[in-house]
Amino acid sequence: MLFHPSKNPVELRVIHLNKSQEQRREDLMEATQGKAALKQLKKAMAKKARQALKVKSKSKNKKNPSDTKQQVFVLDFDGDIKATAVKHLREEISTLISTANKGDEVVVRLESGGGLVHGYGLAAAQLARLKDAGLKLTVCVDKVAASGGYMMACVADKIVAAPFAIIGSIGVVSQLPNFHKWLKNHDVDYEMFTAGDYKRTVTVFGENDDEDRAKYQEELEQTHELFKHFVNRYRGGMLDVDKVATGEHWYGEDALHLNLVDKLQTSDSYLLERMENNEVYALHSRQKPTLAEKLGLSQAAEATLSMAIDKLPDALARFDLNSRLNLLK
């Protein structure tokens, strides 16, 4: 892949969802109605395909953009607190940008309750690349797209959410314990050295004062303003950002009334609709498993195996030399 070093190769799997769905349909029909019914179905589908081909050939010279069959590409993003899934998302997006045609649609099935600002900021920026490249972007949320998850979702041209999906939570939160009193009670001193008045504000082990807390709160407010500005940039014409940027979340139907989403529908239903008139492909990338991972070995065992493989040529060379010396005796 494009941005991974050769020591960590990534493989891309492409699934033609139309063919997969058709295969399941045929398997079910054969099991429930018999081979005769399946044969009739295939004949009807073949006839429909021939008719569609005739219509296409007649309108070939009309150059009507609506006659061009659109391709739909499906990506999955299952976000954790660090948004680590962006590692593969960026690769898939780079592949699409260099391959798909302008006007093609990318559907991202998004699930995330949010996490670190910089991680989800990068993930949202990756989705923005699709729109910059002239591709249509649809985000489908079946369960949750909150906080950083909604930051990603709001980039889309269209947000489709299941009726009880959790949407919103446009806010910022930070919490940490403080062990200063405990350390003091146990006669443990804690020292911290900084250069710059605000290099460090509140700490876990030091004593926090009102000025530290005020500065930290100011930083959270600044981050919140950035979040609101980002949402306003992509959906400002559809919703009242100040009204929804309270840190609250809403279920799908209420989110639709607030214009946080554009449609109530599951991702499965939406993709079935798109498959009626378009070719739909799902892209899944993953890091290739090592030999040790394929064998189910632990990380320590993998390191041991790797060292043994590295030393194998030297061992074979010594074995060959000893064999020759034994022949000379």
Active site residues per annotation: 147, 199
Structural element, H or E, at residue 71: strand 71-78
Burial 85-113 (b: 16+ CB within 10 A, else e): bbebbbbbbebbeeebeeebbbbbbbbbb
Q: How are the residues of the chain apportioned to helix, strand and coil, as percentages rounded to the nearest 5?
A: 50, 15, 35
Residue 234 is encoded by which pair of tokens?
């992509």
Please say whether the beta carbons of 279 and 21 come within 8 A. Answer: no
SS (HEC) of 189-226: CCCCCCCCCCCCCCCCCCCCCHHHHHHHHHHHHHHHHH
Helices (H) and strands (E) in the chain, counts: 12, 10
